[in-house]
Structure 1
Amino acid sequence: MSGQAFEPKNMLYRNLGNTGLRVPVFSYGGWLTVGYEQKGDIVKELMQTAFDAGINMFDNAEAYAGGESETQMGRVIKELGWKRSDIIVTTKIFFGVGRKERHNTRGLSRKHIIEGLNDSLERLQLDYVDIVFAHRPDVTTPMEETVRAFNYLIDTGKTFYWGTSEWSAMQIQQAHEIARRLNMVGPAAEQPHYSMFTRERFEQEYEPLWRYENYGSTIWSPLDSGLLTGKYNNGIPEGSRYHSNLNGAMDENVKHLTSPEGKAKIEKVKKLTAVAERLGGSMTSLALAWTLKHKGVSTCILGATKPDQIKENVKALDIYPKLTPEVLEEIEKILDNKPALPAAYGRRSDDGELM
């Protein structure tokens, strides 16, 4: 690959947890976007727009659109001819590719981890991915087998790092302990849901990971599928993610929108929008910038369906330095959902730093 050189512009970079891999604070993901309604030229436009904005990290999974998401992204990477060292490509293994069998075509057995990634690489038309995530924990497979299998992928050059997604803190700690005992590489990052309205697991259960392991994270749905953009303040607009509701993926979200709790969230969004506008930004940019204030966030995955949305999303970089302790406290009073930390963890300042 020898296409357009990567120009990072004003993008911010962070180490992925306790590794030397530098990742942009915003990355682009294929969940419910690429390979579903977004196919063909629009995928190239989306990825090129991200690349031009300084986003050189692209997230995927074997299960997204039954493998079509990887196929679409892989085609675009090849057509654009980006230099491989200029981009970071990730994928996830667990669910298989739309097959109903539940034996060896899914899960975290050595067989499926290795075969699954080989299939992903074929769809992506790549020799390796930078990070492969265990998309879910597999309680039917011994943890040692899973750790050894991911290390095999590293040793054979199929990936540089491995991570977890929606694992419990205890399972992650177990993987680290096994890796240390075997003198192997433990997982480098978790891929959890984190947003202004989804905080408990990230800020409570995972707190020891950020504090003691310097664990990284690649958070998904930072806008709660659009709720935190303000687009649903007056109902469900046509063309929105809630409206398209791919394969019923948004059923619970749509139902929640009209519940008392959902209506209360909308009122909070309206108040937060006033804060965002005062800072010179949008509700979208405020919600995204807010996630970056937590020290456990390595990169925030964007799921834009239109190029203009990506351009709007990266404006969060202009809001980020304006989130002073005073502004963060104002936001906390509106959200009124800050999880309490066990006393043993110590205190955390409003900008996410441990004290």
Structure 2
Amino acid sequence: MKTRKTLSVLIFLVVGAVLLAQAPYATIVYAEGQQFSLIRGGMPVSYRVENPEVFGLAIERGDILQTGPDTHLEISIQPISASVQIAENTSFRCDADESGMNSRGELYYGRVRAKVSKLTGSSSYRIRSPALVAGVRGTDFGLDHILIRAPASTSSTASGEATPVSIVLNRAFCFDGSVLVAPATDADLEHVVIGGGEMIEATTSNASIGVLTPVSLEKEPVSPAVTEFWKGREFRSEILPDSSEQVLASDEPLTEEEIQVVEQEKKRVRNHKVRLGGSFALFLGGALVAGLAYPEYQDDGFTDSVMANVGFGGVLISTSLGLLLYDLINY
């Protein structure tokens, strides 16, 4: 009896670990524009936005998303109720601890905006740029780290004509809730809290692009430029109790193409659940069939019936693992 209980515990632990490994850290729930790249393990893969694989594409911890011109993405982070919008010409790394409950983003260049539901316990989400770090427990906020042209320049050519100078614009802004902001160079010692409608903005020389840069933390109202940029870009995803499902949320009616995409995603998630359920049932059945032969094996050794049970149980377990592998490849 003790052996059977131990066997059951081991079965559930193994199956639970395998199923947990199937869940991606995040998925793409919206894409528009032209193309983007997904860098995983240093290997970039380019995707056209119209590719049907894009909707629901799994994002793993450590992946880097790079958007091209006029390309906009939104990802839904699975372990926590969070969505991140990645604007055009942006390079953004997704990461988290092993549990996924302490998530973070790394903005190398560009613009991002995140909406995080109220987190509990030790859960957290933060975004870091080369100039600023913003951490939240529940809010609508974003960061910018972009190169812009100064309207006038103090530098001049040999002929005395003024030449445009590029500067790096760093922002941390909050549309709703509150955000703890700190300079990236001294995140543990200095910080300020900004609320809805507030931001921190600082400019540095273009030599600081992508480089850790000290900045001052002075609060001011969110600029019209920020509001205008994100105007009309409401979050499309709606995190459900079952975080493996997302639906498009928009005041505008869905087009026929969008309806087809939503139906494809629902079918993909439904097939994923069926495969996981079938794999679990096969694994459990195989283990039970093989386990039922254990008492006879203790008494009589490897009899024909014992071998039959073990063989049939092995077939069921092998089939379950094959189904899991198939699901891993196709989900």
Structure with larger RCO (C-alpha < 8 A, sep 6+): 1
Using structure 2 for the length normalisation, give the TM-score. 0.26
Using structure 1 for the length normalisation, give the TM-score. 0.24
More helix per residue: 1
